């Protein structure tokens, strides 16, 4: 891809050389969240209304599951580093398939629902680092943003379509829904058995087993990712209650659809520009976008909800992709471990955003104006990034893939 062509032509040129295995993984990057989001967004309703759990218990269960799904990625990265990308993806999908089958059994034995949900989250934690590492294996630094952003676009497309398909059935016919999702994961798992091992993968060896999970972590991208997810989850967790009160649940769904669409369309087209952008510039633009979006949301009108969601999503498009690219560039560890470390940062940030954001939202709502929640969040978006320079690496690492290698073609497999 020419350095001057970050848009559609450059993206198509980068992806046109993809052979069967990465094309299959991109398809799975759509199918897996499609199946998952046919179930997971409705778990609070399912656990409370169908299985009779109290809302307090439901909140604890979902918070724990989210922490496992994000932060467990560091274990997934380490396993992929030690045992191989393909094998780790197969283990992860087997665990996740068992989790969705467990939700079907929970219709008869409700206590199984918590364990089944945790299993699905463990499978997600193990799968994503290996999936991303396989997708960019053997790809030079110039083309990695296009591949990663294409995977992100497929993931967000699945997340957007899944709830639309499952919404009418989650309470009326959950059994058939769980059967369909379990069958989908069986097929996806079977497809992964036909993937070749990633050429040139490092064998397990003593080094892979003896290094700390956080050894070689790129401190600044790790901290920036944790902060970005902390701020984003103010939006993720609390927009629903804020928007539904001021508009409607249907309008809230429209805001979410707009956000998903922006990621699907904009991030792949902007991936080349984001790659070339200086890291300090990307951080400044990303956090400024978050701050502007949070401030706009405080107005509480329907146009403000749409505009605020747009600004926040554009800020995250820059932050999430650039943080991953910088972590890959700066860390000496394998791609899978780097992605796992970044998932840990995301999990810590998301958990803090839910806990601290919930307290802050409760205080502002009790004071009679939840709009202040978004203004205070906007202030955090401007103030907290000032601490990031303290995490700057004294002696930046050189990643083993920093020297460009030939892009994958069909001949490699």
What pLDDT does 181 receive?
Answer: 92
pLDDT confidence bin for 170, thresholds 50/70/90: low
Burial of 278 (0-12, 13-18, 19+ CB in 10 A): exposed
**What distance in Å separates the CA atoms of residue 370 and residue 363, rounded to the nearest whole number?**
8
pLDDT, mean over the chain: 81
What pLDDT does 204 receive?
Answer: 46
Q: Is the per-residue pLDDT at 109 higher than 50?
A: yes
Contact between 350 and 228 under an 8 Å Cβ cutoff? The reply is no
**What distance in Å separates the CA atoms of residue 321 and residue 155, rounded to the nearest whole number?**
14
Architecture of the domain whose range is 20-197: Up-down Bundle (1.20)
What pLDDT does 245 receive?
Answer: 82
Spell out the CATH class of 218-390: mainly alpha
DSSP-derived secondary structure for 52-88: ---HHHHHHHHHHHHHHHHHTHHHHHHHHHHH-HHHH
Domains 20-197 and 218-390 share a fold: yes
Q: What is the pLDDT of residues 357-391, one digit of tens each?
A: 878 888 888 888 889 999 999 999 999 999 999 88
Domain residue ranges in the chain: 20-197, 218-390
Q: What is the pLDDT of residues 227-254, one digit of tens each?
A: 999 999 888 878 877 887 888 777 877 8
What pLDDT does 164 receive?
Answer: 76
Predicted model pTM: 0.74
Structure tokens at 178: 């769980």
């Amino acid at each position: 891809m020419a350095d001057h062509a970050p848009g559609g032509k450059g993206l198509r040129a980068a992806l046109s050389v993809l052979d069967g295995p990465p094309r299959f993984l991109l398809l799975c990057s759509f199918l897996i969240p499609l199946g998952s989001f046919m179930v997971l967004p409705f778990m609070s309703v399912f656990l409370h209304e169908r299985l009779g759990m109290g809302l307090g218990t439901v909140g604890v269960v979902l918070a724990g599951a989210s922490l496992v799904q994000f932060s467990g990625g560091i274990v997934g990265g380490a396993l992929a580093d030690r045992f191989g990308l393909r094998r780790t993806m197969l283990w992860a999908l087997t665990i996740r398939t068992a989790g969705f089958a467990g939700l079907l059994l929970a219709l008869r034995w409700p206590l199984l629902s918590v364990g089944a949900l945790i299993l699905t989250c463990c499978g997600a934690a193990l799968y994503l680092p290996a999936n991303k590492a396989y997708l960019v294996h053997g790809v030079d630094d110039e083309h990695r943003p296009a591949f990663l952003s294409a995977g992100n676009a497929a993931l967000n497309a699945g997340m957007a379509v899944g709830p639309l398909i499952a919404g009418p059935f989650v309470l009326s016919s959950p059994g058939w829904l769980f059967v369909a999702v379990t069958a989908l994961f069986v097929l996806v798992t079977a497809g992964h058995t036909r993937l070749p091992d990633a050429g040139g993968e490092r064998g397990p060896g003593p080094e892979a087993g003896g290094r700390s999970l956080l050894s070689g972590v790129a401190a600044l991208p790790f901290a920036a990712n944790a902060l970005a997810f902390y701020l984003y989850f103010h939006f993720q967790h609390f927009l629903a209650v804020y928007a539904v009160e001021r508009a409607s649940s249907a309008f809230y769904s429209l805001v979410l659809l707009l956000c998903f669409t922006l990621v699907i369309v904009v991030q792949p087209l902007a991936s080349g520009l984001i790659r070339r952008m200086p890291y300090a510039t990307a951080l400044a633009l990303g956090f400024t976008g978050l701050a502007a979006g949070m401030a706009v949301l405080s107005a509480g009108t329907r146009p403000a909800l749409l505009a605020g969601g747009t600004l926040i999503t554009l800020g995250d498009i820059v932050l999430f992709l650039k943080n991953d690219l910088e972590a890959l560039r700066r860390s000496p560890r394998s791609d899978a471990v780097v992605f796992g470390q970044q998932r840990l940062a995301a999990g810590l940030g998301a958990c803090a955003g839910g806990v601290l954001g919930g307290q802050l939202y409760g205080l502002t709502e009790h004071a009679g104006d939840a709009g202040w929640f978004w203004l205070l969040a906007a202030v955090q978006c401007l103030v907290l990034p000032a601490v990031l320079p303290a995490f700057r690496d004294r002696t930046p690492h050189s990643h083993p893939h920093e020297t460009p290698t030939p892009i994958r073609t069909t001949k490699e497999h």
